[in-house]
Amino acid sequence: MLQSIRFRMSLVFVLFFVVLFESVGVFFVHQIEHSDLVSSQDKLTMPTYLRNQIVNGMDNPEDSDAQKGMKRAITDFDDRMVDNVVVYDQEGKIITDQHDLKKKGPVTTRLDTNTKMALRGDLAYRKVRTNDGAQGQEVIVTNVLKGSDNQTVGAVVVYGNLHQIYSNARRIMWLFILAGVLTVIAAFYLAVILSRTVTRPIEQISKQTARITAGDYAMVNKIGGSNEIAQLAQSVNVMSQKIASSTEMISNEKNRLYSVLHHMNDGVLLTDARGRLTIINQAASNYLKINEYETLGKPVFDILDMPEYQNIRDLIKTKSLSRWTWGIELLKFEFR
């Protein structure tokens, strides 16, 4: 089965579809994941009006309305992706924390290196980055806060989870896997059908040539079309007809030869190039007192009781035995 053309064609066809489909699937899932990450960055980037309220609260620590506006801006900036919002002053101290305001989780107490770079005004800081958090992969968006004089007064850092994004990616991936399995089944079915259209004519030609080898020339394939296989089938048909005609002609000539030889009164021996007997007529069989069918294929020197000769050429050159003169002349004629 593994060596059959049908299996190999089906395997190549299926593998091609699997590689193609899975490549498209990986690219598509990657694009969706990338698109969701870009969308998450937009969602986690705090709008300008909320940042202005936070800056106003930082500039006016004694103003209760400004403080309420700052806290409201941090509390209102909420989304299913948002885990926490932390505000730092220019020195890196935490001003307020969304978890602290909502009493819904642990308060952030650390200042990461990226935020330090943002507070120093280092342009090498990353506005958006990902990190392995305590609850899985998270995205961190850092927004620098500018005062009225366009000087850095602090930073607001938004921590968001990527559960929804990776959940969507996994769901899409499983859909692609399921679709891939169905595609493989459909591709295998189509491959079997298509390969059968190619291998079936070859099987017919193989069957025909096997029968020709066995001597049966009656089979004629009926493969139509103008492709290479059809041309091969037509050539095999023509070859079969020519072999049948040649075989019949050779058979008729052989039968005539046997008829002539067996009706001669003189004994006749025919050998091949190796000196083995191929034809002996009835007169020679009677004269030598041997069985025709038992001696065919045997060395002629053993039949003529001449072990001193090694080949036919030596026998032709030596005519010392008069009683074999007729046989020598015939052998000489055959040898030529």
pLDDT, tens digit, 9 for 90 and up, residues 221-244: 877 777 777 888 888 888 888 888
Q: What is the CATH number of domain 46-164?
A: 3.30.450.20
Does this chain's domain 46-164 share its CATH topology with 264-335? yes
Question: Chain-wide mean pLDDT for the chain?
Answer: 77
Report the pLDDT value the prediction gives residue 328, as an integer from 0 to 100. Answer: 44
Question: Which of 30-44, 167-181, 289-303 bottoms out in mean pLDDT, i.e. has the lowest?
Answer: 30-44
- What is the CATH number assigned to the segment(s) 264-335? 3.30.450.20
**What is the residue extent of each domain of the chain?**
5-38+168-198, 46-164, 215-260, 264-335
- The CA distances from residue 67 to 46, 48, 57, 61, 328, in Å, are 18, 17, 5, 7, 135
Q: For residues 155 and 145, is the Cβ–Cβ distance under 8 A? A: yes
Q: How many other CB atoms are found less than 10 A from the CB of residue 140?
A: 21
Residues 6+ apart with CB under 8 A from 277: 269, 270, 271, 295, 296, 297, 298, 299, 300, 303
Strand order in the sheet with 82-89: 94-97, 82-89, 152-161, 136-146, 128-133
Higher-pLDDT residue of 302 and 234 is: 234
pLDDT band at 324 (very low <50, low <70, confident <90, very high): very low
282 to 201, 255, 334: CA distances (angstroms):
50, 15, 18
- CB of 131 closer than 8 Å to CB of 112: no
